[in-house]
Structures are given as C-alpha cells and as structure tokens.
Amino acid sequence: MAAPLYSGDPDFWSLFDASWDLGKQGLEEALGKVLGHCADWFGASGASLFLRHEGSERYLLMAKTGLDARMPEDARVSPGEGIAGASIELGRPLLVSDPTQHPLLSHRRFRERPDLGSAIVLPLISPASGCIGVLNLSRPASAPEFGQAELERAEAVARHIALAVENARLFAKVRQTASEARILRDRLQEVLQCLAVAVVVVDDQELVTEANAEALRMLSDEAEHPELTALLASLRDSLRAALSGQTIRRRYHDEKSDRSWSLVCAPMPGGGATAAIEEVSQHERAVREVARLSRLAEIGQMTAAVAHEIRNPLTGIRSAAQLVMQEPDQAVEFAEIIHTEACKLDELCDQFLDFARPLRVTRVPVDIGSLLKDVAGRLAPEFKKAGVKLNVRGSTDGHTVEGDQNKLEQVVRNLALNALQACHGKGNVTLVAEPHGFTVEDTGEGVPAAELDRLFTPFFTTRPKGTGLGLSNVRKIVDAHGGALSIRSEEGKGSVFEVSLGGRAA
C-alpha cells in the first residue's frame, strides 16, 4: 500500500506558503524544488512544469526533473498540442496510459513514446487568471500505472502550486511596484530639494509631513525677517482653504521690505494639501522697470509726435506772419491762414488731452447689432466715395452687452475707418456682431508681422497723415470696458480686428 501523500514532509507544506520568497530564490528555482518533491511523492520517473508567458498563449518550460530533464531548455507547449496542450485546452486533469484509448484523446494525434507507461497531466488553474500552467508526471512502462487515487491527490497539489505561483507573481509585482514607487519618490525628492521654490505638504490635521530645503530655509529665516511672519500666516490660511477642497493662488507683497511672493495651495487626492511658495521680488521689480521704461519710451514717442504735428501748423503761421510783415495790405488774407492753422493746433491739443485724460465709462445696455448697423449707416457715404463695400453681418438684435454707447461707437468707427484706409479704394469691410462683442474684417493690404506688436502703441502710425492715436484710443476704450482687443492679419489678404467685451451681458 502506498504511503499517504501528507507524510509530514515539511517541503510539501511549503506549497501552502502563498508568498514564496522570490527575493532569495527565483521562481524557476522554487518550482524546481517543488517539482522534485512531487516526483518523489508520486514515484514519477520524470516531471516537468510549464507556465504561461504573461500576455500570450505560450507555455514555457520552467522546471524539469528525472527523465524529463532531457527536454530542451526552450521547450514550450501550446493549447491543443500534445497531451499537455489537450489538458490546457480542456481545462481538466488527464490520467493517461494509452492515449489512443483515452476517450478525450483518441481523436488527437500524439508523438509516440514507447518508454512511457502512464502519466498524470494537470492544468494549473487560477481563479483569477484561468490556466496559468501545466504539470506533467510520468512513469515508465516497467512501473505500476498511476491510479485514480493518485490523480485526485495530484489535483490537490496542482491547485496549491497554481495558488502559490499566482501569489508569488502578485508579490513580485507588488515588490516591483513598490520599488518603482520608491525610485520615483526618491527622484521627486531630489527634484524638490533642487528647486528654488519652497514646497510644503501637510496632512488633514495641518501637520507638515514634507518640506524641501527651500521651505526649511524660509521657516528658519522667519525670526530674522519679520515680513515672513505675515507671509506664513497667509500660507496657513491658504492651506486651510486647500484642505476644504479649494485651489488657492495668491500674490503676497510686503511694502516695507518691497518683497513679493507667489503662493499656490491645492488639495491632494489622497488627503492633505500642498503649497508652493516662490519669491518673485526680482521679477516684479523687473516688470515695474520694464513698465517704467515703456512709459518713458511712449513719452519720448509722444513728444516726437507732438513736435511733428505742431511743427506743420506753426510753419504755416510763421510763414503767414512773415508775409504780413512784408505785405501789410494782405493782412486779412494771411490772418485767415493763421486762424486756420491755429485751429489745427487747438484740435491737436484736444486730441492729445483726450488721450491723456482718464477714461470714464457709463454703462448701459448696448445692442451690438444695432450699434454696428447705425455706424455703418453713418459711414456709408464715405465708403461709397472711396469705392469700398461696407457690410454688416450677424444678428441685428439679441447681442446685448453692458457698455458706453458713445465710446463703443467710437471704437467701431475708428476700426472701420482704419479698415477703409487699408483697402486703398477696393475690396470689402465687414462688421460682424458676436455674442460678446464684434469683429471688423477687411480685404485690404494687411499688416506686416513686424508691426503687429506696435500697432496699438500710442503715436505709432504707418500713414503719411495722422497722429497714431486712433487704434490707441480703441485699445484704451476696450480696456476700460474690461474687454480684449486682438488682431489677425496676413499681408496682401487683409486683417480681422476682434473686440471682446469680457462677456458682460446686459
């Protein structure tokens, strides 16, 4: 009578260890050890074990012993091929002595093995992954054949092997994932420590769990720099808001020290919040300096423009005055010239003063479609005389915004006249009503790319006549409405000026 399977051998009970320590031994080594004991337990002359290659239907040789040790290292099994393949395909264990007489195998073709007396072939079934492998146990013709009782015990062993393999793979994946997470965390820490931005992470109780070197430096400097006390108080308030689910972006400026910081706090998916604090003092000083230089440049440009515009009337006045002195009897005629040129100077002064004066906007509901239609009606004679067609497109009602009626009419008029000049007596200008503003399109000469950035600069003009204040005033009015002004242009094809009034519907 055969000895019972569970004879107290501790190596058998290792099959119940759901976490083979693959850190100390590879999977092949662990399977080889178990397979050797299986061969001993079942009195098998040969044993082999194949596992499915992840992501495919190929089963690769992982362990072999006894007569099966002669198998090539690259041996593999495919579902349906051979007895092992049949067991995989059927998903059930097979007890085989003569394959040609087996009810499940008689119709299949197999390689003859005269030395094989009987075999037990068992699929390794995992509840989660299905068939993950196959176990082969064989005896020679000279040995007693395997029986049903041994098949049943071998099934129990196969179930434990499948469980152990599946769990070993899961543990390996967990270890790999944990290792990759550690590597990523270490890299993230290295990056954070190199940043010139202070980064702080807090938990749900507002306790700091992470802080990079810059954050630690900032905290340690608080005693020496009183302005940091108020900054850190603002940081605490922002972190509390972030813990409630808000994303906070703030600028903090200390007037006394003239230091500024950018502060961003955001909730973290797993709980807690993170904060990034960057000192932007130098950047803001640079921005202020650029703005100052820009204003100086505009003042210089304005001075040159004013001098240029004033010189022409002054030249006429001076010439007329000289002629009056030379020919007093023609004083009346020359006085008219002086008066005309003086009026031009007065008009120029009004234009310059209007541009320099703060703009006041009186908001009322303005129907964009009606506004465009009215301006187009007043400009129609001028466009007709120039030979340029003026169109109005879009709904003439329904697009209503809050704005200053007169100022917006000035915007439309200036843009339309600018488009008229760009057309040079041919083509089309179209005023288009939009939900929150309007566009002015023309088929004129277009604007060179190099001039686009300067187009709205005060006193910049490409026309032989004009002060260069038309488009600057347009921008000033749009800005006063909290809107935006943009241009798309291509030389030789025309331009599109788009005015968005900030989505302020009436």
State pLDDT tens for residues 11-44. Answer: 555 544 444 555 555 788 888 888 988 898 899 9
The two three-digit tokens of residue 5, written as one number: 């399977």
Cα-Cα end-to-end distance for the chain: 99
Give pLDDT, residue 21: 57
- Coil, strand or helix at 488: strand
Assign 123 a pLDDT band (cuts: 50, 70, 90). very high
Give pLDDT, residue 412: 93
Give pLDDT, residue 44: 93
Give pLDDT, residue 148: 92
Query: What mean pLDDT comes out for the span 472-492?
Result: 86
Assign 193 a pLDDT band (cuts: 50, 70, 90). confident
Residue 300's alpha-carbon distances to 146, 149, 350, in angstroms, are 106, 105, 19
Give pLDDT, residue 272: 92
Average pLDDT, the chain: 83
- Coil, strand or helix at 404: coil
- Per-residue pLDDT tens over the stretch 245-258: 999 998 888 888 88
Give percent of the chain with pLDDT exceeding 70.
Answer: 85
Give pLDDT, residue 281: 87
More confident: 218 or 405: 405
- Per-residue pLDDT tens over the stretch 148-189: 999 999 999 999 899 888 888 888 888 889 999 999 988 888
Give pLDDT, residue 4: 43
Contacts (Cβ under 8 Å, ≥6 apart) of 160: 15, 16
Assign 6 a pLDDT band (cuts: 50, 70, 90). very low
> Between the CA atoms of 32, 38, 39 and 43, what dihedral angle is there, to the nearest 10 degrees?
170
pLDDT over 80 (residue 452): no
8 Å CB contact between 281 and 312: no
Give pLDDT, residue 8: 44
Query: What mean pLDDT comes out for the span 438-444?
Result: 91
**Domains, in order of start, for the chain:** 10-174 (3.30.450.40), 195-279 (3.30.450.20), 284-356 (1.10.287.130), 364-500 (3.30.565.10)
Query: What mean pLDDT comes out for the span 100-104?
Result: 76
Give percent of the chain with pLDDT exceeding 90.
Answer: 28
- Coil, strand or helix at 392: strand
d(CA 470, CA 297): 19
Assign 337 a pLDDT band (cuts: 50, 70, 90). confident
Buried b (16+ CB within 10 A) or exposed e, 456-468: bbbbbbeeeeebb
Give pLDDT, residue 466: 59
- Per-residue pLDDT tens over the stretch 351-373: 677 666 677 888 899 999 999 99
Give pLDDT, residue 189: 82
8 Å CB contact between 417 and 409: no
Question: Which of 58-62, 149-153, 267-271, 457-461 has the weakest average pLDDT?
Answer: 457-461
DSSP 97: S
Query: What mean pLDDT comes out for the span 36-56?
Result: 90
Strand extents, DSSP E, 436-493: 437-442, 484-490
- Coil, strand or helix at 89: helix
Phi-psi region of 436 (alpha: psi -120 to 50; beta: other; left: phi over 0): alpha
Give pLDDT, residue 467: 61
Number of helices (H) and strands (E) in the chain: give both, helices first: 12, 18
The neighbouring-strand residues paired with 49 are: 63, 135
Where is 485: in which H helix or E strand?
A: strand 484-490
Give pLDDT, residue 81: 87
Give pLDDT, residue 447: 82
Query: What mean pLDDT comes out for the span 472-498?
Result: 87
Give pLDDT, residue 7: 42
Give pLDDT, residue 435: 82
Give pLDDT, residue 481: 86
Give pLDDT, residue 5: 44
- Per-residue pLDDT tens over the stretch 84-100: 889 999 999 999 888 77
d(CA 114, CA 106): 17
- Per-residue pLDDT tens over the stretch 389-429: 999 988 656 668 888 999 899 899 989 998 898 898 888 99
The two three-digit tokens of residue 54, written as one number: 């992840």
8 Å CB contact between 39 and 137: yes
Query: What mean pLDDT comes out for the span 268-290?
Result: 88
d(CA 320, CA 341): 10
